[in-house]
Amino acid sequence: MRMGVTVWFWALTSSSSSYTRSGVIIVVVVFFLVADGTVLELDDSNFESAISALDLVLVDFHAPWCGHCKRLSPQLDAAAPLLASLKQPIVIAKVNADKYTSLAHKYEVDGFPTLKLFIHGVPQEYNGPRKADLLVRYLKKFAAPDVTLLDSDSAIADFIQSAGTYFPLYIGFGLDESMISKLALKYKNKAWFSVAKDFSEDVMILYDFDKVPALVSLHPSYNERNVFYGPFEEEFLEDFIKQSLFPLAVPINYDTLKSLNDDERKIVLTIVEDEDEEKSKKLIKILKSAASANRDFVFGYVGIKQWGDFADTFGATRRQNYQKWLFGIEWRSTLQFSAQKALMRKIRHLKSRSFLKDTRKEEQSRKELAAVSTEDEPLRVGRGDKVDHATSSTAEAESREQKAGEKED
């Protein structure tokens, strides 16, 4: 096997004519490397050739002095043979980005370790788990068919079980595969897609739909389900898929904000003291109801206890016992974050901007959301650095307690 690795790197760095003459050798060696689960060590001389020769490659950009990198390395080594055994193998590669800085610069690596998944040569950020077994389960999504065909109740159950909880699932019941195949390809990196042809009435009861065709979306980790009965034109199908990619109430943290990068909707954020308190859970249920009625916004929440530093970015402190709503935290696709420091800096910038420029629509949104509150604490809604207080004696008292010059942003 060692000689095979040597031939692999020699072939990748040879001239184009030698590359052509060695084509058979490359294919054979790649086959054995993938089957064996060898972790590739890439550098300036062979990186591009390796990435172009393999369909799916998870690349670890690391530095020898990095403690986190040293802890991640054995997890990747353990995952490599498992990923290599998939029907569509996934290869793990490593790059010493501290040494090969041109690669680090080209692929916007500004922290260690940085993981990027290359799909047919196109890189995307890897935001999944980093323990070997969980990493394998997460990456199986990218090696799966665009649409999985299910022909029995047991096949449906097995599909849901094997899919895990990291991605939402879409199951078309009585739906022709051709109706979702295009969108399944478009959103393959974000969700599982399947079509069930044969199923019992028990399945209809279990997933709460009463007629076909129906497209059911599932969020296993949030125990949420949505049903779409049409119309099944592409425009309406895509709207449903996009709006169902996230749970009705999204827990906002570093990872979910990255996932929301491509979502064009504005975020309505509420900050609570503790996500696990009954009072907060009650509010989250209300958020879900509000989100169900208005999918034009992303309704999110963050607990100060769980994400104190993150919540402080929006002006919440432990001395302020309230829920606050922020309109229009606009997330543009040009904002890419791989380090927490950069993320915090960008959020502060976004926080200072004003959105919802249509005053009448904004005022209506404020009135509607102001009506959604807990009994013991008034809801405060606002935009940017301006916060409107719900009309109540409690709100007025809290307002008077604010220190001079303090802003609720």
Q: Biggest alpha carbon distance in the chain?
A: 83
Give CA separation, 208 vs 143, 214, 215, in Å. Answer: 30, 10, 11
* 47 DSSP 8-state letter: H
Give the integer Cα–Cα distance in Å for 229 and 192. 19
Give the integer Cα–Cα distance in Å for 239 and 338. 29
Give the integer Cα–Cα distance in Å for 310 and 296. 25
Q: Which amino acid belongs to residue 139? A: L
Residue 113's closest CA among 53, 61, 160? 61
Identified catalytic residue from 69, 90, 91, 180 = 69
Catalytic site includes residue 69: yes
Angle at 262 between CA 60 and CA 292, to 5 degrees: 125
Give the integer Cα–Cα distance in Å for 223 and 215. 17
Give 174-206 as a DSSP string: S--HHHHHHHHHHTTTT-EEEEE-S--HHHHHH
Residue 55's closest CA among 163, 184, 144? 144
Asked whether the beta carbons of 301 and 270 are under 8 A apart, the reply is yes
Q: Which residues contact 230 (CB under 8 A, 6 or more apart)?
A: 213, 236
Identified catalytic residue from 5, 7, 53, 66 = 66
Token pair for 96: 């010493």
Asked whether the beta carbons of 214 and 271 are under 8 A apart, the reply is no
337: left (phi over 0), alpha (psi -120 to 50) or beta: beta
In sequence order, the β-bridge partners of residue 119 are 56, 122
Q: Which amino acid belongs to residue 56? A: L
Give the integer Cα–Cα distance in Å for 335 and 254. 13
Give me the helix-helix angle, 23-36 and 2-13, nearest 10°. Answer: 130
Angle at 355 between CA 127 and CA 401, to 5 degrees: 95
Could you tell me what percentage of the chain is helix, strand and coil, using 3-state DSSP and rounding each to the nearest 5? 45, 20, 35
172 by DSSP, 3-state: which? Answer: strand
Catalytic site includes residue 27: no
Catalytic residues: 66, 69
